[in-house]
Amino acid sequence: MPGESVTLMVAGREVRVSSPGKVFFSDRRETKLDLVEYYRSVAGPLMRAMGGRPVLLERYPDGAGGKSFFQKRVPKGAPDWLQTTVVSTPNGTMSNAMVAADLAHVVWAVNMGCLGFHVWPNLADSPHIADELRIDLDPQPGVVFEQVREAAHEVKAAFDELGMAVYVKTSGRRGLHLYSRLQPRWNSYGVRAAAVALAREMARRRPDLITDAWWKEERGRRVFVDFNQNAPHKTVFGAWSVRPRAGAQVSTPISWEELDDVHPDDLTIATVGARAAEIGDPWADMDADPASLEPLLEWHARDMAAGLMDAPWPPTYPKMPNEPPRVAPSRAADANQQPDTKVEDS
């Protein structure tokens, strides 16, 4: 009924959930309350992954498949206990974003129609320190999930070579996300430089499988290592968060040992809570031994010494030092082939 609601005790707070029976996911007719109960079932792992971090809300008031919007700024009327912090966009616009301070914050956001959370790579109390390196393995059209798995194993081998711990999760769609917890020493510019170096090295090692090409026309049927997910002010879809898909797929942390046996479509709010209760949190040890970024920054310095320029930045960012022209290669070639239309003096 439109006026129906339930009040839950979550993290020591009363949180109201309106229209708990509203269907949010069509495949199994799972409701808003089902989504709340899923997040409660993974509370420990969820808060280890994003607790204390600013989050961007991906809101679907009518459930997956309905109208949607991203919300960075906490709306008026939020409860006075809701923790916020100031975040910025590339052009300098400031917003008060929600901090994932505890599970009550998560449930409050779900009641607003937030299905999943996009998470900043920094803690709210350390806004200038990026303590996560995030490797987004993005399959291009024609790439199957087995190839994404293979690319992930190649990246894992490189991290092992560098002595850096790395963890893996499904993206909730077709890709995989790899995370390395970092010592709190670098800002996002340094972390992005490291990601660029890693992407280039992986493309050199496996050019048949992996690409670092920013321009889509150059990627082919390969797995793109999206280094720009580490650019300042960028968020990545969070671990344990639920995608706006009819099957309610979850971006799920998994172990390296099970990577070859897991398919992302099978990891949903109907299965992941029980799975976490049975096997625990594959990322539980992530904070135990934060990695140094120095080995990857040495790769970056090597590439710069060899004469490489910085990789292209997203179009929403100001032009950066040592950045190549922001024009697709085909457009640049077309411009170079235009006939000279200058009229000579007679």
Q: Return the pLDDT at 26.
A: 98
Question: Is the same domain home to 110 and 136?
Answer: no
Q: What is the pLDDT of residue 1?
A: 46
Same domain, 13 and 114: yes
Query: How far is Cα 305 from Cα 285, in angstroms, rounded to an integer?
Result: 36
- Residues 153 and 213 reside in one and the same domain: yes
pLDDT tens for 19-38 read: 999 999 999 999 999 999 99
How far is 110 from 40, CA to CA, in rounded Å?
11
Structural domain for 229, as ranges:
132-234+290-313
Q: Provide the whole-model pTM.
A: 0.93
Residues 222 and 188 occupy one common structural domain: yes
Q: In the listed set 124, 145, 163, which residue is the last one of a domain according to the structure? A: 124
pLDDT at 343: 34
Q: Report the C-alpha gap between 295 and 160 in whole angstroms.
A: 11
Q: Is 47 among the domain residues?
A: yes
- Domain annotation covers residue 88: yes
Is the model's pLDDT at 120 over the cut of 90?
Answer: yes
Q: How many independent structural domains does the chain possess?
A: 2
Instruction: Assess contact for 242 and 10: CB atoms under 8 A.
Output: no
Tell whether 73 and 202 lie within a shared domain: no
Which residue, 124, 141, 166, sits at the end of a domain?
A: 124
Long-range contact list for 162-167, CB < 8 A, 24+ apart? Answer: 162/295, 162/296, 163/291, 163/295, 164/291, 164/292, 164/295, 164/296, 165/286, 165/289, 165/291, 166/135, 167/253, 167/282, 167/283, 167/286
